[in-house]
Structure 1
Amino acid sequence: MKKLVLAAALACAPLGVWAEGVVHKVAVHVDDGDPRVLNMALNNVQNVAKYYETQGDTVEIEVVAYGPGLVMFLDGRSPVADRISAMSLEHEHLKFSACANTLRNMSKKMGKDVEVMSEAVVVPSGVVRLIELQEQGYSYVRP
């Protein structure tokens, strides 16, 4: 009887729940430039990565910033630049995406090109990138 119950549970379980080495996907949304919020987002990333590592799983994390949150990736202006640099080396499956729309508007407003840190990749739209990630099965987190 126990074998039958276990077989039924396995048949009904979502794919990967019973197996080690699952790949999790997380999109972290940052649209607030407050250093406390930026640090909270990075704390979330650290905690999620550490948790899944202890489970023997892999986690792919993408931090997407736009609007006032783009300060997170601004070269020479980011209050969390050191953490981003260290984390990008520490976590193989961590990406940072900067919104081109926000970058263009900031550059226009400042009258000069605004550069992002080398760790960040510019994507056409932060909002669209979050939509794409969710369509690809990423879980959405907003600190």
Structure 2
Amino acid sequence: MTTAVISGLAMLLLVGPSAQAQQDNQWLPQASANSHASYPKHPARQKQARKPEHNHTSKQAAANNTMVTQATKTESASKPHRLILQVNSNEPAMMNLTLNNATNVAQYYRDRGEPVSIEVVTFGPGLHMLRDDTSPVKPRIEVLAMSNPEIAFKACGNTQENMRKAENKDISLIPQATIVKSGVVRVMELQEQGWSYVKP
């Protein structure tokens, strides 16, 4: 009986480690496979997480650029255009050229839906353009003023006074004219305010 017990123990010692090893070998590949399968997922997740951030930043920058461009266009369209046209000659051709320029500029910005202000400033011999008794373009100004309220006509008060003294009579102006103290000063001050200046 003692011999049988010893033989049984010997079999257990021989078979036990081998069976345990087989069990260990069966579990190891699964654990290894699971552990290896779990690692590659993390870099992929990191890459996927970074891409939307980059795309979001690019889209936001593009949206900001679009907004700035639109704001610039809106500001440019809403900012009034302002033009000075000077007349200091008693030549009818120059007076008509000035009226042509004023009409063309007014029509151009009207078609674009943008505001514009135009001042025709007369002084010296150019005051004849706005004199009621000597203006060669009086009928044209009357028609032009009715259809183009953005065009204003300024007469130099100093010139008017000098003509009054020289001719010894009152110098009447057409109804569309507004007197300013000095035509030259008016041109200078408008330029200082950012108006564009054109002399025909």
Q: TM-score, normalization: structure 2?
A: 0.64
Q: TM-score, normalization: structure 1?
A: 0.88
- Which residue of the partner structure matches residue 10 of structure 1? 69
What's the secondary structure of 2:83's corresponding residue? strand
Question: Letter of the aligned partner of 1:59 in structure 2?
Answer: V
Which structure: greater strand fraction? 1
Matched, 1:72 2:129: yes
Q: Is the 8 A contact 1:25 1:59 kept in 2?
A: yes
| Structure 2 gap ranges (5+) | 1-57
Q: How many angstroms apart in 2 are the aligned matches of 1:50 and 1:6?
A: 32
Q: How many angstroms apart in 1 are the aligned matches of 2:123 and 2:73?
A: 34
Task: Please list, as runs of the form range in 1=range in 2, the aligned pairs for 1:26-41 lying within 5 A after superposition.
Answer: 26-41=83-98
Q: What do the CA deviations read for 1:30-62 (whole angstroms, capped 9, x no partner)?
A: 101100000000000001001111111111011
Q: 1:112 to 1:48 in 2, by over 3 A?
A: same
Count of aligned positions? 141
Task: Please list, as runs of the form range in 1=range in 2, the aligned pairs for 1:47-62 lying within 5 A after superposition.
Answer: 47-62=104-119
2:144 aligned to 63, 79, 87, which one? 87
Q: How many angstroms apart in 2 are the aligned matches of 1:56 and 1:94?
A: 16
Q: How much has 1:4 moved relative to structure 2?
A: 7.3
More relative contact order, 1 or 2 (CA 8 Å, 6+ apart): 1
Which structure: greater helix fraction? 2
What's the secondary structure of 2:75's corresponding residue? coil
Question: Letter of the aligned partner of 1:87 in structure 2?
Answer: L
Structure number with larger C-alpha Rg: 2
